[in-house]
Amino acid sequence: MNAEANQKEEALLAEAASAPFLKKMGIYTRLSGPGWLQGAITLGGGSLAGALYLGVIAGFGLLWLQPLAMICGIIMLSAIAYVTLSTEKAPFGLVNKHLSPALGWAWLIATVMANIVWCMPQFNLGRAAIQQNLIPAVGSSTNSTIAICVVFLVIAFFVNVLYQSEGKGAKIFDNIIKLMVALIVLSFFAVVVTLTIGGSLDWGAVLAGLIPNPALLFNPSAAHAELIAQSTQPEWWTDKIVNDQRDIIIAAFGTAVGINMTWLLPYSLLKKRWGKLQRGFSIFDLSIGLFIPFFLATGCVVLAAASQFHGQTGDVDPAAGEATLALLAEAHPGPSNDADLQLALTLVKRDNFQLATALEPLAGKTVSQTIFGFGVVGMALSTIIILMLINGLAFQELLGMPGSKGAYYLGCAVSGIAGFAGPFIWTGAAAAALAIPTSVIGGSLIPIAYFTFFLMMNSKKVLGENRPKGFARVVWNVLMGLATGIATLGSVWVLSGKVNFENWKGIIPAVGLLLLVFLFVVGTISFIKKESKEI
């Protein structure tokens, strides 16, 4: 953003301060930007899969979960924005100088790992949506897959070139991201409208599902109760389903905002040349660009999955329940009955292609395959673009070349080329070998990223006179403490449940827990020592 554009934006913000509500919202929406980047990355394959399984296991009962989890994430992103806009400096350097290089470099390395590894399933998701939903005629041959991935890579790299441009190029980039996020939301919204017209949604139950229900931490959803009563081992099934639901709840709260999202926000704010004037506006930006699209898109997927799969087994091959029945037999040797099989089948995870197929008799082929498939492709492509963007920003710091376009494009290429390989290696053991270490390290460092900015919001060395005072400081600390505590609980819960010293997959979560404890201790000691020194 050049000086003239910056002055124009500041004038519009000043005008908005005294404008009527609707005019103010119009000005804010026009000026918004970094929040939409957050929306573009969070609306990816992970959010899609999470929303699908929420609908499968709990129907409308956990509809409140992802929005509430995202609110906690936005609290911490707002703190990150406050620190960045108050100092107008890159946070990586601030963390290394005022807290600890261990925190800064752990944050950077985890971000790069996440950008490289999570790009792979996005390419895989996008090409499969084209081959199975949108254009089945292209087939699923290797040549077809390569051609689709080349198109994705070229588009994503071109859009990132726009991001590095000044003036019109950067504005075009902003508009492309806003348009992609809007089209994703509209695609899934069209599916829900069609289901509503067809009478497949009970909106009374939907609205009830928006009210937080902690009982699902301790009890199975109502749809499972009758089958549990008829099963051979009601207590085992109750524990199994409650544990699954609890894992979903805790994991969603702990991972509402990915480690690379915490890196993206401050650098995208600095790219816009925002400062202290935009501190309040940045919260609105996160709301309209991140929360609202996330709430609408994931909510629509939960509604569609719940209406088609919750408590239903007609779409599932009976063989799919064998693994769960084997666990039952291991715990309680003896014959199972029909209720056991039905329960096992109700817990089978479905993917987006199974959902599209299930919707076809109700919504028709155009909505279920074409529009739904378009939404999935939009999710994949927008996430690829932003993952490459974040990696470009991270490589600038990694190579000690802030602002370098060469370092930026190198980072983009590393993430993009790794993603290109995704459809060929993101399968079976190879996927686990990549996903497990990355998810463990990223998951263990999310609380550290939150904790780092919690400390920075309370640091006189970092913020000086901009450190919140009085009641505002109390509010910030209560909200940040709550969000950081929930993220930490989620990470510890998930990691501790995966510890197993009998194989490498089980050892990595133990390392993640040790890393979590180590960085918490290092961060706390460094903060106390450095804050105690005279400014």
What is residue 426's DSSP assignment? Answer: S
Cα 372 to Cα 190: distance, rounded to the nearest angstrom: 8
What is the pLDDT averaged over residues 103-114? 91
- Tell me which fold the domain 34-427 belongs to: Amino acid/polyamine transporter I (1.20.1740)
Phi, psi of 195 (to 5 degrees): -65, -35
Cα 494 to Cα 481: distance, rounded to the nearest angstrom: 20
What is residue 255's DSSP assignment? Answer: T
What is residue 402's DSSP assignment? Answer: T
Q: What is the pLDDT of residue 390?
A: 95
List all residues 6 or more positions away from 524 whose beta carbon is below 8 Å from its beta carbon: 455
Using the predicted structure, report yes or no on whether residue 435 has a pLDDT greater than 60.
no
Cα 340 to Cα 269: distance, rounded to the nearest angstrom: 53
**Of residues 54 and 420, more confidently modeled:** 420
Of 38-47, 102-111, 252-261, 522-531, the one with minimum mean pLDDT is: 252-261
**Of residues 535 and 208, more confidently modeled:** 208
Model confidence at 139, in pLDDT bands (50, 70, 90)? confident
* Helix orientation angle between 234-254 and 470-498, rounded to the nearest 10 degrees: 130
Q: What is the pLDDT of residue 230?
A: 93
Q: What is the pLDDT of residue 355?
A: 82
Using the predicted structure, report yes or no on whether residue 182 has a pLDDT greater than 90.
no
Using the predicted structure, report yes or no on whether residue 432 has a pLDDT greater than 60.
no
**What pTM did the predictor assign?**
0.87
Place of tokens 């504005």: 171
Q: Using alpha carbons, select from 441, 438, 387 the residue that is nearest to residue 123.
A: 387
Q: What is the pLDDT of residue 251?
A: 64
Cα 333 to Cα 126: distance, rounded to the nearest angstrom: 43
Cα 24 to Cα 479: distance, rounded to the nearest angstrom: 27
Using the predicted structure, report yes or no on whether residue 440 has a pLDDT greater than 70.
no
DSSP H/E element including 488 = helix 470-498
Q: What is the pLDDT of residue 267?
A: 92
Using the predicted structure, report yes or no on whether residue 477 has a pLDDT greater than 80.
yes
What is residue 535's DSSP assignment? Answer: -
Using the predicted structure, report yes or no on whether residue 324 has a pLDDT greater than 70.
yes
User: Do the beta carbons of residue 373 and residue 183 sit within 8 Å?
Assistant: no
Q: Using alpha carbons, select from 363, 328, 331 the residue that is nearest to residue 342.
A: 328
196-238 pLDDT tens trace: 888 888 899 999 999 988 887 788 888 888 899 999 999 999 9
The C-alpha R_g of the chain, in whole angstroms, comes to: 23
Locate the domains of the chain by residue range.
Answer: 34-427
**Of residues 367 and 137, more confidently modeled:** 137
User: Do the beta carbons of residue 66 and residue 54 sit within 8 Å?
Assistant: yes
What is the pLDDT averaged over residues 34-48? 84
Model confidence at 83, in pLDDT bands (50, 70, 90)? very high
User: Do the beta carbons of residue 361 and residue 310 sit within 8 Å?
Assistant: no
Using the predicted structure, report yes or no on whether residue 56 has a pLDDT greater than 60.
yes
What is the pLDDT averaged over residues 398-405? 93
Using the predicted structure, report yes or no on whether residue 40 has a pLDDT greater than 80.
yes
Using the predicted structure, report yes or no on whether residue 424 has a pLDDT greater than 90.
no
Using the predicted structure, report yes or no on whether residue 388 has a pLDDT greater than 90.
yes
* Per-residue CA distances from 437 to 118, 429, 433, 446 (Å): 12, 13, 7, 14
Residue 328 is encoded by which pair of tokens? 């039952």
Average pLDDT, the chain: 86
Q: 3-state class of 316 per DSSP?
A: coil
Cα 17 to Cα 24: distance, rounded to the nearest angstrom: 7
Q: Using alpha carbons, select from 153, 144, 310 the residue that is nearest to residue 222.
A: 310
Q: What is the pLDDT of residue 49?
A: 79
Q: Is 204 exposed, middle or buried (0-12, 13-18, 19+ CB in 10 A)?
A: exposed
Q: What is the pLDDT of residue 347?
A: 87
Which segment, 119-133, 393-407, 495-509, is predicted with the most confidence on average? 393-407
* Per-residue CA distances from 93 to 226, 252, 266, 282, 397 (Å): 57, 30, 12, 22, 9
